Amino acid sequence: MKKSGYAVITGASSGIGMIFAERLAQKGYPLVLVARRKERLKNLADRLKEQYGTKCRIIPCDVSALEECKRLMQEIEDISVDIFINNAGFGDCCPFMNGNLEKELGMVDVNVKAVHTLMKLMLKRMCDNNYGYILNVASSAGLLPGGPYMAVYYATKAYVTSITQAVAQELKEAKSNVYVGCLCPGPVDTEFNQVANVEFALPGISAEYCAKYGLKKMFQKKVVIIPTIGMKVLLTLGRIFPRKWCVAFTGLQQKKKLCRR
């Protein structure tokens, strides 16, 4: 069934973002595909048009720059947006003292500043219409007290989960029909692993399952979406045991990633 409002997806050129695009194309949404790599966006748009007849607009954009985030919002001013998937993000794994400062600050720009900016600007638009869905792709890392050896990544995702839950409560109290939620998976088998220089110590889920589950719970207006039972149990234990124990345990798990490199 064809939809009139668009779904906008950042980080759409690979991984979970690409699967979000495929799933929403199957549901009949016209798409705005956003990422840095124009050729990948074009290939994806061509494939979705051929398979599903999907109307796609591609916008090459580096959301690490504030002006690029503003340009993106200006470029979609002329369309109705029903869904905004705030998916762009990346990580890194190494001791904090050894980390590349430029890469770390770039991570803050993409994982925090871009998510914040795009959510705020899109939220204003959706609230004017009293309708829409915003899904911030966070991580189970954002629900844990800290992540030695991935300290910056954990901190950025904690920001995303925190601000999402706060804004969702504000919308609830305002009796708004606009939804804001966050997807918090554990390990997912995507290109994230290569960028972050990790091989996960725990088995990962597929991007297909993650995106499918995320969309299902988004449409059910679940605020914090955790795709696997195992991760739900782990996060529950994290609320029971002392914080310092959880940080130490997380550090042991992260250290295994370093040993596998």
* Strand extents, DSSP E, the chain: 6-10, 31-35, 56-60, 81-86, 132-137, 178-183, 188-189, 205-206, 224-225
- Per the document, the length of the chain is 261
Is 128 exposed, middle or buried, given 0-12, 13-18 or 19+ CB atoms closer than 10 A? exposed
Contact 201, 259 (CB under 8 A): no
Q: Phi and psi of 180, rounded to 5°?
A: -130, 130
DSSP 191-239: THHHHTT---SSPPEEHHHHHHHHHHHHHTT-SEE---HHHHHHHHHHH
- Over its C-alpha atoms, the chain yields an Rg (Å, rounded) of 18
Closest among 15, 14, 29, 16 to 133, alpha carbons compared: 29
Confirm whether 153 is a catalytic residue: yes
What is the separation of C-alpha 156 from the centre of its chain, rounded to a whole number of angstroms?
12
Instruction: Give the C-alpha distances (Å, rounded to integers) separating 231 from 112, 181, 187, 252.
Output: 23, 18, 9, 16
Q: What's the rounded Cα separation, in Å, for the pair 56 and 14?
A: 16
Q: What's the rounded Cα separation, in Å, for the pair 6 and 100?
A: 38
Among the options 153, 159, 209, 213, which is catalytic?
A: 153
The residues annotated with a catalytic role in the active site are 153
